[in-house]
Amino acid sequence: MQYRTLGRTGVQVSTLALGAMNFGALARTTQQDADAIVDAALEAGINVIDTADMYSAGESEEMVGKAIAGRRDDIVLATKASMPMGGDRNHQGASRRWLVTELDNSLRRLGVDHVDLYQIHRWDPTTSDEETLSALTDLQRAGKIRYFGSSTFPAHRIVQGQWTAREHGLSRYVTEQPSYSVLQRGIESHVLPVTEEYGLGVLVWSPLASGWLSGAVRAGQAATGHRAAMMPERFDLAVPANRARLDAVEQLAAVADEAGLTMIQLALGFVTAHPAVTAALIGPRTLDHLRAQLAAADTVLTSDVLDAIDAIVPPGTDLAPEEKHDTPPSLLDPRLRRR
C-alpha cells in the first residue's frame, strides 16, 4: 500500500480508501460481511474509512462503528452530511441547526466521540458559506471533528468556500471528494486545478464508474449486479452515452491486456496517477470485490499506458455528461434561470 499526505493536514492516508456506501440495506451487506471487509482492508494497509449519514439511512455508520470498535485510533474516519435524512424539510442541508444535530447523530451511530473528517455531502445553495463554515469551525473547536471538507462541489463553490473562510477568519475546507474515473474526466478541467491551487486533499469516488470499469461490463455481456438492478438506465445501450462508454471499455480492455493488468488495476491506477488525487475510494460489497480492488494498491501505470488511455478518452472529457453531480442547479431546473 502507498501513502500520501492528505492535502496540507500532515495526515498520512492510504491511496486506496474504504468507502462504506454498500454497507447495510442498500446492497444487502450484513454486519458479518462488513466486519470481514473492514478486517481485510485494514490488514492490507488501508487506513481511511469513509461513510455518510444517508447511506442506508444511518445503517452504514452503525455497521462501521461496530466493525472498528477497539481500533478507532488506527483509522482516519470520515463521514458526511447534508443529504436528506427522513421527511422533515430541515433534516438536510448545511445549516448550523442541522449540522450540529446531525453530527451528534453520526457520532452516536459510529460509537465515537469525534470523526477525523466531516464532509458536506453536496453543496447547499440555500445556505450561506459563512453559516456552514462558522458551524463547522465551532464543531472543530469543540473537538468533535478534526478537519472538514466538501464533496462534489463545483469548482466555483470550492473557490467561494476558501474565500469565505479567509474573509471571516474561519477554518477552511481541507479536502474535496469528487466523482472521477477514466470515463468521467471532466473535473480535470475545472475542479482538480482548483484543489491543487488551494492544496486540498482529494478523495475520488466512483473510480470504477459504477461498475463499467470493473471488467464485468463488456460487449455481448449484459451488466449484472445490484447497481445494474438499481440503475438500469446507466447500462441501457439504447442510450448514446452508454454506447460510447462500452466502446471505450472495449478499447481500454485491450490496453489493460497488453499491459498485463486487470481492468480494475487500470482504472484505479489511472485515478491515483493524477498529481491532484490523494486517494481513490473503493466500495466493495463482498470480500472478493475487495481482493480484486486491493490488487491495484501498488499499481503504477507507465507513460505509454496513460497516453493510450488519453487517446481513448481525451483529458477533461465526460462520456456521460448528464451524470455529472456538480452541475449548477440552474442548469437542471428551468425555474432558476428564468424571471
Residue 128 lies in a domain: yes
Q: How confident is the model at residue 220 (pLDDT cuts 50, 70, 90)?
A: low
Q: Phi first, then psi: give them for residue 330, nearest 5 degrees.
A: -70, -20
Number of domain units in the chain: 1
Residue 129 lies in a domain: yes
Residue 90 lies in a domain: yes
Residue 46 lies in a domain: yes
Residue 135 lies in a domain: yes
328 pLDDT above the threshold of 90: no
Q: How confident is the model at residue 339 (pLDDT cuts 50, 70, 90)?
A: confident
The C-alpha angle 206, 210, 211, rounded to 5 degrees, equals 115
Domain hosting residue 27, numbered range:
3-210+264-305
Longest dimension (CA), the chain: 57
117 pLDDT above the threshold of 90: yes
- Active site amino acids: 55
Residue 205 lies in a domain: yes
Residue 249 lies in a domain: no
Q: Is 320 within 8 Å of 242 (Cβ atoms)?
A: yes
Q: Residue 322 burial by CB count (10 A; 0-12/13-18/19+): exposed, middle or buried?
A: exposed
pLDDT of residue 337: 82
* Backbone torsion region of residue 56, taken as left when φ is above 0, otherwise alpha when ψ lies between -120 and 50, otherwise beta: left
Q: How confident is the model at residue 146 (pLDDT cuts 50, 70, 90)?
A: very high
pLDDT in tens, 222-269: 665 655 556 677 788 888 889 999 999 999 999 999 999 999 999 999
CATH number, residue 72:
3.20.20.100
The answer to whether the pTM exceeds 0.85 is yes
